[in-house]
Structure formats: C-alpha cells, structure tokens
Structure 1
Amino acid sequence: MLPQRVARLRRLALIGLTGALAVAMSACASERGSGGGADQTFVFGAAGAPKNFDPIFNDDGESFRPARQMFDTLVTYKPGTTELVGDLATAWTPSADGKAWTFTLRQGVKFHDGTPFNAAAVCFNFDRWYNMKGAAAQSQMIYYGDVFEGFAKNEGDATGSPVYKSCEAKDDFTAVINLNKAKGAFPDAFGLTSLSISSPDALKKYDADNVTQSGDSFTYPAYANEHPTGTGPYKFESYDKTNKTITLVRNDDYWGEKAKTAKLIFKIIEDENARKQELAAGTIDGYDFPSPADYNSLKDAGNQVLIRPAFNILYLGINQKNNPKLQDVRVRKAIEYAINKDQLAKNKLPSGAYAQTQFLPNNVPGYTDSVEKHSYDPNQAKQLLQQAGASDLTVNFYVPTEVTRPYMPNPVDIGGAIADDLKAVGIKVNIVQEPWNGGYKDDVQKAGKQDLHLLGWTGDYADAGNFVGTFFGRQKAEFGFDNAQIFSALSNADAQVTPDAKKSAYEQASVLISQYVPAVPLTSSPPAIVVKNNIHNLIPTPLTDERFYTVTKG
C-alpha cells in the first residue's frame, strides 16, 4: 500500500474503469496468488515485428507487447486502469525534497535464469542505463532520455543534466534511487516497460550493452535478440523470423499467479485484412487494433470486440529543419486550418474518436479549453499561405506502412485524407511511404528527413508530461525547432509535485504550444482489441499494455 504522503503527492489517476473493461477478471499485481494453467496455447496476431526484446532499447507497442509478458517493473498499473500498484516493489516512499525514492522489494522472486532478484539487481539495472554511452545510449533516448534527461556521459542527442544520481542497496530488499532533482513524473514513470528489471548475470553473459550503429540503424547484441531474461510470468523460447513467430513459455517459478496457458505465441501479420482472415480461420485467437469498419462483422462472426477508453494522440508532425517556409508560424497554422479533423475522426477512426485541439487527451489533467484553436477553415489557410509567401509550398509527407497503432488503425488511409486536405488549399504533397520498423521511425525521429509526418502516442501513465513533455520538452530531430519558452514551461511543469500546481503549469504550457504550432494535434480515439468467444479473462486497458498471463481458453 502507498504511504499516505505519497498518495497526497501522486497525480490524479484515471480510475474506476475496471468494471467496464474487465472481461472476467479483477486481480491486480499486488494481489496475485498462486495458480496453475492448462497446457494450452494462446496465439495473438501482432501487427508488426519487434525491434528486439531488451525493453530499454525499445519505444513501440509491438516491441513492448512480448516484453511485458517476460519482464516486471518496480511498480505497475492496476489492470484496466492507470492506477499505480506494486509489482517488484511492495511499497515506495519519497524523501521530503522528492530527490530520493525508497523501495521495499518483493521477496522470493527469481529471474528466469534462476538468479535471485534483490536490491543489488535493481541498482545494477539503474546504473546500467545511466552509464550507457555511444550507440547504446542513443538507442534508448525515447524513454530513458525523456524521463532521466541525460546520462553519466552525454553524447550525440543527449545534452541534458541527468536526473538520476545513484542507487543504494540498503539491504537485500531495500533499494534507494537518488535523484539530482525532484521530478513530477515519479513514481508513475517507474512503471514504464523500458524500465523493466533484467537479470544482471544475463546482461553480463550476453554482452547486453554492445550496440553498434551504422548510419541511422542499430544492431543489437545476443541479450536483446535471443536471451531476454526477466522475472515475468512467461519466458522467452524462440523468435522464428522466417515464420514470423515469437514463442514464450510459462514461467513455472513465477512469484505471482502462474500463466494460465503453457505457451504464448505472437504471430506477426502486418496486413490488417490478413489478421482478420486468420482469426476467422482459427489460426490466431485474437489481434489488436481491428479496423473500426470491421467491428460489427467481427461481432457477427462470434468474436469479442473489446473497446478501450481513448488515451492517445494522433498528430501531424512538422519538421522545421529542412524547409525554411515551415519556420513561419503562419504556414504551420495554415496547415492546421487546412485539415478537416472532424471528418478524419468520423471517417477514418473508431466510433468515439474526436478531433483534437491540443496534445493531451481530454481526461488528463492539463487539458484546457484556453488553447488557441485553428479549426477547419480552408479559406483562412489559403490567406495565411499567401501572407507568408508560401502559396507554392511543397512538402515531403512521410507515412508509415506495415503498422497499425492505437491512434492510427490505417496510416495510409489517414495520410491520404490529410494529403487531400492540404492539396485543396494549394499545397503540393509528395507522399513518402516507409515500413514502420524498416526505416520510417529512424528517418523521422532520428534523421529528420521529412517535412511532415504521421505519428502519435498512447499514454504510459496519467501525467501530462508523458504526452507534451515527451513531444516538445527538448530539441528533437523529429520537429527541428528550438523554443526556449516552451522548453522552460514544460520543465517547470515537470518539477511540480502537487496535482493542482502540476495541472495549472501544464495548462499554461499547452497554451504556448498551441500558439507556436510545432505540430498539428489531429485526433484521440478509443482503440479496440478483438478475441474469439472462447477467450476469457483478458482485461483491456487504456494504456494498451495488456498482460496475457490471465487468459484462458475454453
């Protein structure tokens, strides 16, 4: 249970969703009991291939999905909600100044290689992340870089003053994380999948930090590709790249409730129609992010379509680096005025999707009606382009393929609709399509080759900084701008630890962002997950971080 002082400091969480979301089960990580499981196999259709299986080096849902089944974090989120509960830690307490967090650790836990989980293992992991350098550090900038802001030795894109200071193992089951400054993202951020705890022995044995870089591409070592070793309810067995299947097996030594299925297989099926066909054929038991147009037919065929609450943002990124005309705020506003967000939400996204005016879902503290709004107005878009001398604007618009994300079920269709709106106000659009894990993310987020691009975000926890701070908290190749006022406003908001102060500070930051238009917020939408009628005890979550150890068949 959380100490009272932590409860007072913790941000407002989105709770009360479990009843509407749970299919048949209501256990949380801190209340897991013992269990067994039939010798069954649950086969899930994955929308894309994972980058690898080392959580610290990943930043996308298809990589995190198998990792979440194999690894645990210090804290986690109650199934079906964003409410914080214990995982590898049973209690956590901040110091008076917020610069130290003391964790009481769960006893009797073993890693998949049989080595013990303890405070020394926690400190080994935190020190590992902090001391990374070279390609290894550059490869973990999205999550670790955003939360901890810097490394022991900053290189490349890492330029900030590190939040992390040190870790102390007070005894076998007490770990203290020391920080250089208080950060409002904690304790919730300790539950990020990226901050999963790995076996120190396995990390050393399989050379986990030996990441190499060639251009914008990274090559990962044996630990990440063949030997991920956590404490979770499933263990890694194999990744057959030829047949595109990832096989996990039940961890019979798991500290909590044992997985109900002996095997968990992720079958990678990039095409959404192919996933639907395989579900109908019975070769998979479920898949994520079905097309909204298919909801009724899937139900009519005897499947369960489980709807999550909207907890995401789809945006049109604007990179100011390559095209000088995009550095003019009038041009960026014109682009937003040109897009019919209401029609986009209605025609291309699930029922319940809504047009966005800012980079926060409307259920996260910090969302405000005071932002500057640029609602659909093609005439206003044309006027601004003319005033800026950009009536002949040409943009390279990058759109991902071979991916389905919670915020964009069909990126090619969504990109096409946006391109049509831009063309209607006189903007020439060159669409560049690239596979999600085959160049798109590297070209957009690391190399910044694009003028415009489609991306989005599903919140990891109920904190505004996890959205706007992740997007605009520092200079990034994805957007190519430098705005000290926005960076300062977000840094100030992230330093607030009381809910009211944090809410007010993020509202002010949201207004600044809306006036500057570093990107265009498009929509928020409630994604679904579909499973056959004989699948039980799957709890859909607003964080899209479902754990499959509870799933039964029959």
Structure 2
Amino acid sequence: MQPSFLKITRREGLGLGLALLSSIMYLSAPTSARAEFNLRIVQGTDVDTLDPAVSRSTPSQIVFNNIFNTLVRWKDTKLDEIVPDLAESWTKSEDGLRWTFKLRRGVKFHDGTPFDAEAVKFSLERILDPALGSPNRSLFTSISEVNAKNPETVEIVTKEPSPMLLEVLAEEYAGINSPTAVKKSGRAYARNPVGTGPYMLSEWVPAQQLVIKRNPDYAGTPGKPDKMTFRPVPEAEARVIELTTGNADIALNIPPEATEKVRRNAATAIVTEPSSFQIFFELNTTKPPFADPRVRLAINHAIDRKAIIEKILNGYGRVPDGIFPRGVQGRAPGQPPYAYDPDKARKMIAEVFPGGYNEPIVIWTPAGRYAKDKAVAETVQGYLNAIGLKTEFKVWEWATYQKTLYRPETGKGTGRGSNDANMWLLGTGVTNADWRLRRKFSSTDDSNLTGYKQPRIDELLAKASVDMNYTSRMQAYADVQKIVWNEAPNSLVLFDQVQLIGIAKGLKGLEVYGDEIIKLDQVTKLGRLPPSGR
C-alpha cells in the first residue's frame, strides 16, 4: 500500500508511461521562527563525480541536479512537455538544422560569473571535445556548431535534422557549467562544481558525506531545505537502521526483505514505485566465450529469473519480456521471456565448444548500487556453474567500478577497463529510446562497453536518428529490440526493477521519476516552514 499522503499518477503521453510521485502541498501550523531544515539522504553508493558532462551514475545525478540548470527541462515527471529553463524560448529553421535559443537575463553562476551565450557554447563544446572523454559525448554529436550570437542568444546547428535535440538538452548531462570555474579547477572540477541551480556545494568528504546548501541568489523558486546531506551507506540493512532510528529522512534502495519493517515503524513509510530500470550482466563480445551470439543466447536460458525475483527480491521485480521494461519510450510489444532451460543452455554451448569451454569466466559486480546486486550476482554465478562453466567473482565499490568500466585503455580490446572481465553487472533506467539503444548497441558509440557490432542494428539506429517522423522512428527502435532479444543479445538480462524508497513520515513534496532520479528541492517535513519567497 502507498502511504495515504502520497498521490500516484501515471503518464501515457509520448509512449513513455513513467510513474510519478507528485509534489504535495506543504501544510503546517505557522510559527514565528523556522528551524534550519537539513534534508538527510542515505544512498547505497558514494557520489563519484559532480561534473554532469562525465557522469553516468544516478547517485551523482540526484545530487548535481540541484546544482545545475539546463537550457530546457521536462515540465514535470510526466515527461510529456519540454519547457524553458535557462532558455526563455526557442525557434527552429525550416530545414530543421538551426535552433535559436533566447536566454534568461540576470542569471549568475554560484561563483558570480554571469550566465550568457558564451557559457552555453563553452559547456556544449566541452562535452563534445574528445579530450574530455565524456561517456555521454555521442548523445550530443548531432551538434556541428554552437554560436554565441550575442550575450542573450545562442544558435545550435545540427549536422542533420535532429528530432531528439530538445530531449538531449533536457538531460542531466547537459547542465550548464561556469566557464570560470572549469578553467580554474581543471581536472579537479568534478570536485568543485559551479552551476546556476538552487543549491551549491558546501562540503564533500568522499566515502563520508556530501553537503549542498541553498543558493540565496537563485533566480527561480527557492529550495525548501536549507541544506541537503547525502551519505553513502553500502549495507542495505544499515540504511534501514539509519531511517528507522531517525538519522535519515530518505533511504534509497531499501532491501525487499526490510519493507515490512519500515512499514511497521511508526515514524517511517515505504514508497513503492515502478521503474524503467532493468538489471543485467553486460557481456564482453570481443573475446570467447561471448564473441559468439549463440553462447550469449544460451546463458540467457540458464537463469531462473522467477526464482531470483521471488526468493531474493521478495517479489519486487518483473521477469523481462524484452530489453525495454515498461515506462521506456518506443517499447516493442512484449517478446517471449527466456525460458529457464539449463539443458538447452548446455546444448547450445556445446554446439559452439564441442569439448566444453574450460577457461574461467570473470564476473564483476558492485555491492549496494542495485536491488540485492551482490546476492543476485552470486546466484547467477551458481547457475552458470551448474551448466558446466567455470567462473571467477569480484565485488567492487561503486565509484571505483564506474571508473574502471569506462576507463579507456589502449590495446584492451573494447578500449575499456572492462576487457579484464567477461561480464559485469549494470542497470539502466534511460527512458529515451534512441539513447538507451545507441549507447549499448551502436558499434561507434563511446559508451558501448561490450564491443557489440551488428551492421543491421547500426543501419537502423543511423536511420532513426534523423527521422523526424515519430511513428517510423519508433518502429526502427522496435526492430532493434527484436533483433537483440531473439538473435544477438549483448547482455544477460535479469529483471525489471521496482523502486523501494524509505521515507520519514511527514515528508512531503518528493518527486520520483521512473529512471530513479528523485527531485528534492521542494521537499518539506512537518513542523518546518518553507523559506520566504523573493
């Protein structure tokens, strides 16, 4: 059951279908003085960077979404309308190649640098610069030029018509940075972010806590909390204790077995939300045994997903019927789920390796990032051992895991640190069909860790990327989904995740997105008054 003070609605527009936990009006008896409101959040993993251009981590994005603004943004969690943010308005040329944005006046970065067209040009050209090594660069490569026409006007020129440009500019990665701060901090900018958002960095002690404080000069609606404190608590049960003993207001990624404990506590409640997150092992397709798609298909039949969901996740999950869970744009009609059939898996592997595959398969997993990730990974290891495969297992701390996975290494096969493993546990909640597919399956995308290469899929993605017709574009994405699921996967798909968030009773204004981003700036607690407007 949902707590009575939380209202759930669903969005059907644009086919994204994301669930939303709507903001709820703050109600409190007036008082003469407002005590300082520190919103305390515990996450399963530490923040790895506060530079939006290089971030791939949801825990980091939850923090820096409060520090940065983008040119445009989604109106709300329905994700059915793009509205102005740092841009006041925009127009598009008849040929669809030139977009002109009129910018808000009087906005300043936290360091006092004026926000203007040069700052937009600087931020977008920075993420496009190969020297930065942004894992999100390919999302922006349709852009050929960024021109500062005058301080309040910026023009973005695309190589071809770009049907997704506004959606791209609304992504967290498109946060506009202070050019002064980037140049001053250099490589240390990830620890010293400067945006225009409602909050600014106050303190960051890695592995201990990160504090952001309200920006007193914010040009928009002021944030409600005076400050927010984020702490990494990798042990799931420890996060529950932090919440139920009053040391935290929000605990993310509550373990399934602890939900009743949180519900029964007089001071806490559980928010259960659908998720666009799917959890999977990516498979290194550049070397044996997963260089052959038949082996990749085979191990998908070696896993009893229903047992994982029922026994490890306490029923909080769904058996996947495609690479897009519900809530993702352009989801193809459900595919036949992979049947649990270890005999079939053995037979398929024997067709590729008649004498058996005798080399160890190296398995990597984080601990604390996804629902029961380590326990799920250990169970998968057992299933692979049961069909005669030898395995090695390594558990990683999340920030180090991310850096290792996405670190380019010359001569390392895929060009990433992940080439030292055969399979690594990840999840994605991306709701944009183009970006969700391209970053995993395009052979030329910098985010493709698996080395996956299928000419037919490259052709479909390239065609869709310039197709201004929504219907035919979505059909191309559906075709990619079917090929990947039925013929040539690059992953061992495990389950579609359900969000379990623990909150203190009396907490209001929390917004939950299907991709597991939570919006915090308008959160209040009973007994606290919001800051006065300006």
CA-CA distance at 1:372 after TM superposition:
7.0
Say if 2:281 and 2:492, in contact at 8 Å, map to a contact too.
yes
Runs of 4+ residues over 6 Å off in structure 1 = none
Helix, strand or coil at the partner of 2:165: coil
Q: Which residue of 2 aligns with 1:522?
A: 494
Q: Which residue of 2 aligns with 1:175?
A: 154
C-alpha distance in 1 between matches for 2:383 and 2:337: 18
Residue 463 of structure 1 pairs with residue 432 of structure 2: yes
Q: Which residue of 2 aligns with 1:81?
A: 78
C-alpha distance in 2 between matches for 1:15 and 1:512: 23
CA-CA distance at 1:508 after TM superposition:
1.2
Residue 102 of structure 1 pairs with residue 119 of structure 2: no
Say if 1:398 and 1:431, in contact at 8 Å, map to a contact too.
yes
2:178 alignment partner, one of 199, 214, 222: 199
Distance change (3 Å), C-alpha of 1:466 and 1:349? farther
Helix, strand or coil at the partner of 2:39: strand
AA of the residue aligned to 1:403: G
Helix, strand or coil at the partner of 1:527: strand
AA of the residue aligned to 2:85: D
Which is further off, 229-238 or 286-295? 286-295
2:391 alignment partner, one of 429, 433, 441: 429
Say if 2:270 and 2:503, in contact at 8 Å, map to a contact too.
yes
AA of the residue aligned to 2:443: R
Q: Which residue of 1 aligns with 2:400?
A: 438
CA-CA distance at 1:266 after TM superposition:
0.9
Q: Which residue of 2 aligns with 1:143?
A: 136
Say if 2:17 and 2:328, in contact at 8 Å, map to a contact too.
no
Q: Which residue of 2 aligns with 1:60?
A: 57
AA of the residue aligned to 1:270: P
AA of the residue aligned to 2:397: P
C-alpha distance in 1 between matches for 2:337 and 2:324: 14
Encode CA deviations 1:443-466: one digit per residue, 9 max, x unaligned.
Answer: 47722211122111011xx42112
Where do residues 288-437 of structure 1 align in structure 2 (5 Å cutoff)? 288-301=252-265, 302-323=267-288, 325-349=289-313, 351=315, 353-369=317-333, 371=335, 374-389=338-353, 391-404=356-369, 408-437=370-399
Residue 270 of structure 1 pairs with residue 249 of structure 2: no
C-alpha distance in 2 between matches for 1:16 and 1:48: 24
C-alpha distance in 2 between matches for 1:66 and 1:361: 25
Which is further off, 411-420 or 97-106? 97-106
Residue 127 of structure 1 pairs with residue 120 of structure 2: no
Please list every run of 5 or more consecutive structure 2 residues that lacks an aligned counterpart in the other structure: 1-12, 27-32, 408-415, 527-534
C-alpha distance in 2 between matches for 1:440 and 1:264: 24
CA-CA distance at 1:80 after TM superposition:
2.9
CA-CA distance at 1:358 after TM superposition:
2.4
Say if 2:284 and 2:423, in contact at 8 Å, map to a contact too.
yes
Say if 1:396 and 1:430, in contact at 8 Å, map to a contact too.
yes
Encode CA deviations 1:241-294: one digit per residue, 9 max, x unaligned.
Answer: 37x111111111111111111111112222211111111222221121111221
Q: Which residue of 1 aligns with 2:22?
A: 22
AA of the residue aligned to 2:453: D
C-alpha distance in 1 between matches for 2:310 and 2:333: 22
Say if 1:12 and 1:499, in contact at 8 Å, map to a contact too.
no
Q: Which residue of 1 aligns with 2:513?
A: 541
TM-score by length of 1: 0.83
Helix, strand or coil at the partner of 2:353: coil
CA-CA distance at 1:185 after TM superposition:
2.8
Which is further off, 314-323 or 330-339? 314-323
TM-score by length of 2: 0.86
Encode CA deviations 1:328-354: one digit per residue, 9 max, x unaligned.
Answer: 222111111111122223333474521
Encode CA deviations 1:189-226: one digit per residue, 9 max, x unaligned.
Answer: 1111111001122222223xxxxxxxxxxxx32x221x
Q: Which residue of 1 aligns with 2:38?
A: 41
Q: Which residue of 2 aligns with 1:473?
A: 442
CA-CA distance at 1:526 after TM superposition:
2.2
Distance change (3 Å), C-alpha of 1:132 and 1:516? closer
Helix, strand or coil at the partner of 1:427: coil
C-alpha distance in 2 between matches for 1:241 and 1:367: 38
Encode CA deviations 1:43-69: one digit per residue, 9 max, x unaligned.
Answer: 111222222221112111122221111
Residue 491 of structure 1 pairs with residue 488 of structure 2: no
Q: Which residue of 2 aligns with 1:153?
A: none
Helix, strand or coil at the partner of 1:175: strand
Q: Which residue of 2 aligns with 1:215?
A: none
Helix, strand or coil at the partner of 1:264: strand
Q: Which residue of 2 aligns with 1:251?
A: 215
Identical aligned residues as a percent: 24
Q: RMSD between aligned alpha carbons?
A: 2.5
